[in-house]
Amino acid sequence: MPVITFKYQDLKDLGINIKKDELIDTLPMMSSDIEDFDDEEIKVEFFPNRPDNLSVEGVARSFKGFIGQEIGLPNYEVTPSGEFVVVDEQVAKIRPYIAFAKIEGVDFKGDKLKYIMDFQENLHWVIGRDRKKVAIGIHNADVVNAPYKYIATAKDENEFIPLEKSSTMTPYEILTKHEKGVDYAHLIEDFDKYPLILDKDNQILSMPPIINGELTKLKEDTANIIVDVTGTDEKAVNQTLNIICSSFAEVGGKIKSMEVRYVDKSIVSPDLSPQIKNVHVDVTNKLIGGTDLNAEEIHKLLLKTRFDAEIINENELKVFIPSYRIDILHEVDIVENIAVQYRINNVVAKLPNVNTVAHENDWIKSENTIREVMIGLGFQEIMSLMLTNEKAHYTNMLQKEEDHVQVSRPITIDRTMIRTSLINSLMEFLEDNKHEDLPQKIFEIGDVLYLDESKENKVRTSKKLAGLICHSTANFTEIKSVVTSTVSNLGYSMEISDSENPSFISGRASDLKGDSKNSSIRGFFGEISPEVISNFNLEYPVIAFEIEFIS
C-alpha cells in the first residue's frame, strides 16, 4: 500500500498542534496503519481507496475533521485563468484525455518539493496504473506561455531536453535511451506518433506519460505551477486533477481553471463541485450494527468526515461530498465514513438473532477430496492471491488479453486484475522458489472471476484446480498420467482433444472435458512453452494442467 512520510512539524505548520502519542493512537482509527515513527518523522500507510490522503495536506484535512478542529465541506475557490489548451485530434488514438489547471502562490521550500514528487508518484500507482491510465505533469508556469497545445508528433521531430538531462533528445531517443523512457516505453511505443504538450512558442512542457521537460523543472523558488493530467480514462483524469488541486489549496494555493478544447467539445477544469448522494438513518444503523443513531447524530458525524449534509426528514439526509473523495460510489461508502467517525471500537457487538443448524458446504467437501487426491499423487499445495496483473497473466503466458475484472485502485502495479486462470500464479511460485531442489510438484485449488453480463453483479465465480511439475525430464506423458489419475479419482469420465493453447508447446498439449453424476469439468494440460518458461526466469521443463469445475 502507499506509504507517506512526513514530520510532526508539518502538521503543526498546517494548524494541528497535537502530542505525538495522541497522533500515533488516532491515525489508525482513520483507515491507516503506522509503518514506523521516531522523534521527528512518521510513516503512515493509507488504504488505496483514499488517494486524497496521500499528501500531508490531505492527512491534515482529514485529521482536523476527525478531531473536530475543522468540520464540513472544504470550500476551494476556482477562478478562470483565461488560458486554454487545444487538443489535436491525432492524439486521441494514443492518450485521448487531458485536464489542465494553474495554481498560483505555491511553496516548495524545505521538504515540500520532495513531498509533492512523492504525492505524484503515489497517485501514479493508486489511480494511474503506473501511468497507463493516468499520468501527471507539474510544471513551472512562469517559463511558458499560453495557449498550450496537446499534439501527436513523429518519432524524430520536436527535440527537447528531458528532465535531469543536459542535451536535446527526440521522442524516439527518449524511449530507447532515457531511463524513464525505457521504463515506460511500453505505454506508447506501439503507436506511430507520440504525445507532446507545447506552449504558444512551441516550447515543450512534457512528453506524457514518459517525462517532463527540463525547461519547466520545479525548484524551491517556483511560485506558480501548471498541472496537466493525461490518460485513457476521462473520469480518472479529472478526478486526479481534483485531488492535486485540493491538496495545493489546503496550503493557500490559488486555483485557476483552464479550458480544454477538443475537436468536438470544450471542458473547463478543474470542476470541484461536490457530488450529491442521500443516506438513510435505518440503512446506517442496520449496516453498522449495534447503533441507534438518529438524523441529528448522523449529521454531526458527516460534518466531521468533511462532508456537508442537510436533514430531509427523520430517516434521510442529503450529503454533499467533496470532489477529492473519489472513493464514494454508493450509500454504503457514506455509511462506512459515518462508522469511522463514530469510531468502530464504540460499536457494541451483538449476536445475530437467528437460530440455524450449520453444515459443511458441499464445495468444501469436494475441495477436501481434491486435496487428498493431489497430495496422494505427491503434490504440495500452495495458496496464492486472486489478484494478479496483466503482464504475468497474459503477456508472460503468451495469451491474448481478454475482458477481465480490473482493480479500480490497485495497491501495487503487480495486483491490478482478478485472475481467470491459476497457471500464472503457479509459475510465479516456481520463479520465487527456483533455488529449491527438483522435482517440484505444486497444485492450487482456487477461485477465478469472469465478467458475465447475465449476472446481477456482472461477474461469475468459478472453481479451478491447477498443478505444475518442474524437473529436467518433465514431459507430456507424465502430465497426462497425472491428469488421468486425478480425473478418475474424482469420479469423472474424460475425453481429450488437440489443444491450440499458446501457453503450451504446439502438438504437446490437449484439451479435456468430462462428466460425473452432478457436474462436469473442462480444462487442458501439456508441456509449457519454452518462451513462457523463459518469461518466468525458469531453467527446466515445466508441465501443467488446469481443470474447471462446472456445476
| pTM of the entire predicted model | 0.74
Q: Tell whether the model's pLDDT for residue 412 goes beyond 70.
A: no
- Cis amide prior to 96 (ω within 30 degrees): no
Say whether 511 counts as a known binding-site residue.
no
Is 337 annotated among the ligand-binding residues?
yes
C-alpha cell at 267: 471542458
pLDDT recorded at residue 147: 95
Whether the predicted pLDDT of 398 surpasses 70: yes
* Cα–Cα distance for residue pair 38/23, rounded to 1 Å: 13
- Encode pLDDT of 228-242 as tens digits: 999 998 999 999 999
Mean per-residue pLDDT of the chain: 91
User: E strands along 89-184, which residues?
Assistant: 97-104, 134-140, 148-154
Would you state the pLDDT for residue 316? 96
Q: What is the pLDDT of residues 419-457, one digit of tens each?
A: 999 999 999 999 988 888 889 999 999 999 998 888 888
Contact call for residues 484 and 492 (beta carbons, < 8 A) = no
Tell me the average pLDDT across 497-503.
Answer: 92
φ/ψ of 389, rounded to 5, equals: -140, 160
pLDDT tens string 322-364: 999 999 989 999 999 999 999 887 887 777 777 777 777 777 8
Beta-carbon contacts of 96 under 8 Å, excluding residues fewer than 6 positions away, are 232, 234
Structural domains in the chain? 3-67 (3.30.56.10), 78-269 (3.50.40.10), 275-345 (3.30.56.10), 362-550 (3.30.930.10)
**424 is known to lie in a ligand binding site:** no
121 is in an annotated binding site: no
**pLDDT tens, residue by residue, 84-126:** 999 999 998 899 999 999 999 998 988 889 999 999 998 998 8
Amino acid at the residue 349:
A
Least confident residue range of 37-46, 191-200, 348-357, 537-546: 348-357
Beta-carbon contacts of residue 126 (< 8 Å; ≥ 6 apart): 2, 48, 51, 54, 409, 410, 411
**pLDDT at position 70:** 93
At residue 326, the pLDDT reads: 92
